[in-house]
Amino acid sequence: MKAIISPRKKPRQDRSQATVDVIFEAAARIFEKVGFQAATTNAIAERAGVSVGSLYQYFPNKLAVLSALRERHFEEKMQKLADACDRGCATSLVDGVRLISEVNAAHHIGGRTLTHVFHTELPPIWPDRIGRPCVTHFRERLRVFLETHRERIRVDVEQAVFFTLALGASVIKSALVDRPQDIENGVIARETTEAILLFLTGSPSGRPARTQVVA
């Protein structure tokens, strides 16, 4: 029997939203502390300070809680990245790409255990999220950022959008498994920045290479 991972209903009022928010916060801490298998809806409800009946009003099981928590985590990340793109429009291409890479990495600092639970207990997120409003919004803001710095970019803007999205997502996903320490110490953000700039401009620093003069 296929497990139900969709919520029963979404909060419509501020009070209901506040209840769901505390359930999310409690669930995140429980999943991080004991893992998904050992977590229970009773433990989540107790930590949240709500009755288990209140939890079941919104979520049929702990898998549905985890799925909704990942959705919120994902939407928050997309909004942070969209905001970084907007800020990048007011600065240089190099500083903008660095900011986007740093925001992408920073979102995962301290949350590696929870992200691991997302990856191991839920189906892949990206194929089902490409058309989501939060992704469309981020993609559009990224396109505007790259258009703003069009004179510095050597490739088509659509190519630039695709590569920036694909590289940022794939590097973080791999680093969470193989190099989590480098997310926290800034290495991943730096390497991602250099890789994106190399593709966009032909130089990992974003600056044109000096032409060697032959005597």
pLDDT in tens, 123-177: 876 555 656 889 999 999 999 999 999 999 999 999 999 999 999 989 988 888 8
The domain that holds 180 is classified in CATH as 1.10.357
- Is residue 21 domain-resident? yes
pLDDT tens for 32-46 read 999 999 999 999 999
Query: Within this chain, do residues 149 and 98 fall inside the same structural domain, yes or no?
Result: yes
In 3D space, the residue among 117, 107, 106, 108 whose CA is nearest the CA of residue 32 turns out to be 117
Report helix, strand or coil for 39: coil
CB contact burial 146-179 (16+ within 10 A = b; e otherwise): bebbeebbeeebeebbeebbeebeebbeebbeee
The domain that holds 46 is classified in CATH as 1.10.10.60
Q: Are 196 and 153 contacting, i.e. CB atoms less than 8 angstroms apart? A: no
The encoded tokens of residue 1 equal: 């029997």
Query: Within this chain, do residues 195 and 90 fall inside the same structural domain, yes or no?
Result: yes
Domain of 159 in residue numbering reads as: 69-201
Task: Give me the number of domains the chain comprises.
Answer: 2
Q: Are 161 and 199 contacting, i.e. CB atoms less than 8 angstroms apart? A: no
CB contact burial 94-125 (16+ within 10 A = b; e otherwise): bebbbbbbbbbbbbbeeebebbbbbeebbeeb
Helix axes 93-106, 62-88, angle to 10 degrees: 160
pLDDT of residue 1: 37
Query: Within this chain, do residues 55 and 91 fall inside the same structural domain, yes or no?
Result: no
Query: Within this chain, do residues 84 and 190 fall inside the same structural domain, yes or no?
Result: yes
Written as one letter, the residue type at 23 is I
Q: Are 106 and 83 contacting, i.e. CB atoms less than 8 angstroms apart? A: no
Asked if the model's pLDDT at residue 8 lies above 70, the reply is no
* Mean of the per-residue pLDDT values of the chain: 88
CA 31 from centroid of its chain's CA atoms: 18
The helix or strand, by DSSP H or E, that contains position 97, with its residue range, turns out to be helix 93-106
Query: Within this chain, do residues 24 and 106 fall inside the same structural domain, yes or no?
Result: no
- Is residue 53 domain-resident? yes
pLDDT of residue 128: 54
